[in-house]
Amino acid sequence: MTAVIIEDEIPGAKRLEKLLIEKDFTVLVVLTSVVSALRWFEENNHPDLVFMDIKLRDGNCFRILDSIQIKSKIVFTTAYDEFALKAFNYNAIDYLLKPIDESKLDKMISKYDAFKTGFANASNWRFLEENIENKFKTSFLVSSGNHLKKIESDEVICFFSDANASFILTNQSRQFTINNSLDNLEQQLAPESFFRINRKFLVNKKYISALKNDTQMILQIPDAKEFNFVVSRLRIRTFLEWYKK
């Protein structure tokens, strides 16, 4: 199998190259910037796998993926986990945090083998789904008096912003301040469960009891009657596609 490494930290790139060679990969090239990567993929046949760091010296790797269609399977390698959701929007097959754990690299290779065989059985599908699912946040720590309280994501009715702050509303009708923006939360939460209906609200599908469609699309959430959940007009079509799944 062939691979290309896109990484601007030379020690990390050399370690990954060594690991891949030990696992019978042929590493075609190590690229250290967005510009050099764009040039290489325009001029060469694409490998089986691309190991791609997200933050490079001249920008992030999404500039590469937005500029050229890479035919390879993508594996993101990074020290930052906040890009997980965005990474999977680019059809990545895995997201490895640095320093790369060799056992996780082995699992990724097994997953790639499953891709090659077209996911011939249901267990391969479950393996992929479980791996992706683990990338999203499932709980949050918030301040409650003099204590820290853990809130599971399935207890959250919605996240909302007000007066330049962000809050959690739970199914116990309690509100807590959270030190995170809705933009970041949108990237960190499982997309099948949470949807950003407008600039102010990120809602949990579990608590939507009905939709009211008059001149606006309004969500009926019995446990949060004090809020007016109106879907932005620009997001209604996408919201309906998400809601019916």
Same domain, 128 and 19: yes
Same domain, 218 and 106: no
Q: Retrieve residue 244's tokens.
A: 């019916």
pLDDT score of 125: 44
Last residue of one domain, picked from the residues 111, 133, 155? 133
Same domain, 105 and 175: no
Distance CA 169, CA 141 (A): 13
Mean pLDDT, residues 122-135 taken together: 48
Which residues are within 8 A (CB) of 7 and not within 5 positions of it... i.e. 6 or more apart? 13, 16, 30, 31, 32, 51, 52, 53, 77
pLDDT score of 115: 65
**CATH number reported for the structural domain that contains residue 40 in this entry:** 3.40.50.2300
Mean pLDDT, residues 53-62 taken together: 88
Last residue of one domain, picked from the residues 92, 117, 133? 133
Nearest to 65, CA basis, from 57, 190, 75 = 75
Residue 94 has pLDDT above 90, yes or no: no
Same domain, 162 and 220: yes
Same domain, 127 and 9: yes
CB 236 within 8 A of CB 208: no
- Vertex 6, ends 54 and 1: CA angle to 5°? 120
Identify the burial level of 78 via C-beta atoms within 10 angstroms of its C-beta, where 0-12 means exposed, 13-18 middle and 19 or more buried: buried
CB 77 within 8 A of CB 51: yes
More confident site: 88 or 107: 107
pLDDT score of 121: 47
Give the model confidence (pLDDT) of 152-164 as tens digits.
999 999 999 998 8
Percentage of the chain with pLDDT > 90? 47
pLDDT score of 39: 94
- Vertex 106, ends 81 and 47: CA angle to 5°? 85
Same domain, 7 and 125: yes
Give the model confidence (pLDDT) of 203-228 as tens digits.
999 999 999 886 778 999 998 988 99
Distance CA 144, CA 78 (A): 33
In the β-sheet with 92-97, what is the strand arrangement from edge to edge?
A: 26-31, 2-6, 49-53, 73-78, 92-97
Average pLDDT, the chain: 85
Percentage of the chain with pLDDT > 70? 85
Same domain, 161 and 77: no
Same domain, 110 and 168: no
Nearest to 194, CA basis, from 178, 207, 181, 211 = 207
Last residue of one domain, picked from the residues 133, 163, 183? 133
Give the model confidence (pLDDT) of 162-213 as tens digits.
988 999 999 999 999 998 889 889 888 888 999 999 999 999 999 999 998 8
The confidence band for 132, taking pLDDT boundaries of 50, 70 and 90, is very low
Mean pLDDT, residues 57-79 taken together: 87
Same domain, 168 and 124: no
Residue 81 has pLDDT above 50, yes or no: yes
The confidence band for 143, taking pLDDT boundaries of 50, 70 and 90, is confident
Same domain, 110 and 207: no
Same domain, 207 and 99: no
The confidence band for 124, taking pLDDT boundaries of 50, 70 and 90, is very low
Residue 33 has pLDDT above 90, yes or no: yes
Residue-number span of the structural domain to which 118 is assigned: 2-133
Mean pLDDT, residues 76-87 taken together: 69
pLDDT score of 36: 94
pLDDT score of 128: 46
Range of lowest pLDDT (39-48, 91-100, 102-111): 91-100
Same domain, 124 and 172: no
Q: Where are the beta strands (DSSP E) in 90-164?
A: 92-97, 139-144, 147-152, 156-162
Q: Retrieve residue 41's tokens.
A: 């993929």
CB 28 within 8 A of CB 3: yes
- DSSP result, 52-95: EESEETTEETHHHHHHS---SEEEEEES-GGGHHHHHTTTEEEE
Structural domains counted in the chain: 2
Distance CA 73, CA 93 (A): 7
